[in-house]
Amino acid sequence: MKVTMIGTGYVGLVTGACFAEVGNDVVCLDVDAAKIRTLNEGGMPIFEPGLKEMVARNRAAGRMEFTTDVARAVAHGDIQFIAVGTPPDEDGSADLQYVTAAARSIGRHMTGPKVVVDKSTVPVGTADRVRAAIAEELAARGAAFEYSVVSNPEFLKEGAAVDDFMKPDRVVIGADDDRARAAMRALYAPFQRNHERMIFMDIRSAELTKYAANAMLATRISFMNEIANLAERLGADVELVRQGIGSDPRIGYHFLYAGCGYGGSCFPKDVQALQRTAGEAGEPFRILDAVEAVNDAQKRLLARKIVARFGADLSGRRFAVWGLAFKPNTDDMREAPSRELIGDLLQRGATVTAYDPVAMHEARRVFGDEPRIAYADNPMQALAGAEALAIVTEWKEFRSPDFDRIRRELRTPAIFDGRNLYDPALVRDLGFEYYPIGRPDLRHTENSAAG
């Protein structure tokens, strides 16, 4: 099938590459000439495991092209995907200017029937706006072509997006006519040979499904962070609590890990957008107000722990930070907890040496020429001269480090673990001050009780 992908960001690149991988002829369009040049030269503007190799493979096979030529891209695909950004506006609502512009481009250049698919995460009612924009452009041309508008939200996890697309849990399709449903079923047929994964529904339900899914996951994270903070006050271990409640099949283990808050391009933006949508509909989403407030506070928890240990004035102290991306296997630092931690440390007079396996280039872009931030080539190099270590991202290479060397390198043998990577008893027995989240020193609690 001939597919056009409008937008070569995270969603557009992964979706386009995976469609090409199963034999479709894909043209990816973007107005950013520099990005298209990078892609045509074999570069990759984002880090996602397996994506660069997949794009290269399909470009070599002639199944994937990149262009800035709008007319050519619109002429190519019988199915036109809109996968452009929907950044939060000042009021928290999704900014739909790029979605609307993409729709207008389709209406301006289409010369035959099209299925237009909203792949971007968009508020309920966006399909109506897309349909109207195309209709206006066709009317201005005096043209009349059949077209359908479909909602097909993405459920990709950064760091595992290629695998998620190739082996989806579900494919949600919001469509109002049989022609569009048939086209989407044919397009996704290669991804559901094992069993039926497609869920068809009306367009507005599909649009709401995406926001509801991300809001639910964000709620679980904030809930567990509240439990962790309470556990710490009560002398309980949140990891044991997680195992206790996760074993209930009605709850399950996913997204029950306490930590220093969520970030990224989806959860913060989508929670705010759903709050805005609910408010406009006259149904304020009170639980999401709490979810967002809890997360904002949790991002600053590591800094509060550091201040409690070293004092409010951190002048003259250097801290090592392991992990800058908002999660492992990505270089995405949007809304990352590391940004809050480093900002708080710098504000209190400290300096920082940071390390991340893939996000160092992005960190330099985010923080600019800030002279108080140094970047290490490896985790151990970041420790040299540091007062203590803060762990913000749970990269695999941090899970089993050389603790003896860490203790030798740090001025104070203190680890502030924002992802609960280590066994508290083990680390403390090695001579460290260990500050995880929701995991107090139970030996101290037991000794106090015995006394």
| Residues assigned a catalytic role | 266
CA–CA distance, 357 with 138 (Å, rounded to integer): 49
Specify the DSSP class assigned to residue 41.
Answer: T
CA 436 to chain centre: 23
CA 244 to chain centre: 28
Beta carbons of 322 and 355 less than 8 angstroms apart: yes
Q: Give the CA dihedral 176, 182, 184, 186, nearest 10 degrees.
A: 170
Contacts of 337 (CB under 8 A, 6+ apart): 259, 260, 261, 263, 298, 299, 302, 326, 392, 418
CA–CA distance, 377 with 208 (Å, rounded to integer): 43
For helices 286-298 and 267-280, the axis angle rounded to 10 degrees is 150
Contacts of 171 (CB under 8 A, 6+ apart): 152, 188, 191, 192, 197, 198, 199
**Locate tokens 């508290």: which residue?**
424
CA–CA distance, 209 with 18 (Å, rounded to integer): 22
CA–CA distance, 75 with 62 (Å, rounded to integer): 18
Total Cβ atoms within 10 A of residue 212: 13
CA–CA distance, 215 with 282 (Å, rounded to integer): 18
Task: Give the DSSP per-residue string, 54-103.
Answer: HHHHHHHTT-EEEE--HHHHHHH-SEEEE-----B-TTSSB--HHHHHHH
CA–CA distance, 62 with 73 (Å, rounded to integer): 15
What does residue 20 show for φ and ψ, rounded to 5 degrees?
Answer: -65, -35
CA–CA distance, 294 with 267 (Å, rounded to integer): 13
CA–CA distance, 49 with 427 (Å, rounded to integer): 31
Q: Residue 125: name the closest of 211, 197, 185, 8 by CA.
A: 211
Task: Give the DSSP per-residue string, 278-317.
Answer: HHHTT---HHHHHHHHHHHHHTTHHHHHHHHHH-S--TT-
Q: 3-class DSSP state for residue 25?
A: strand
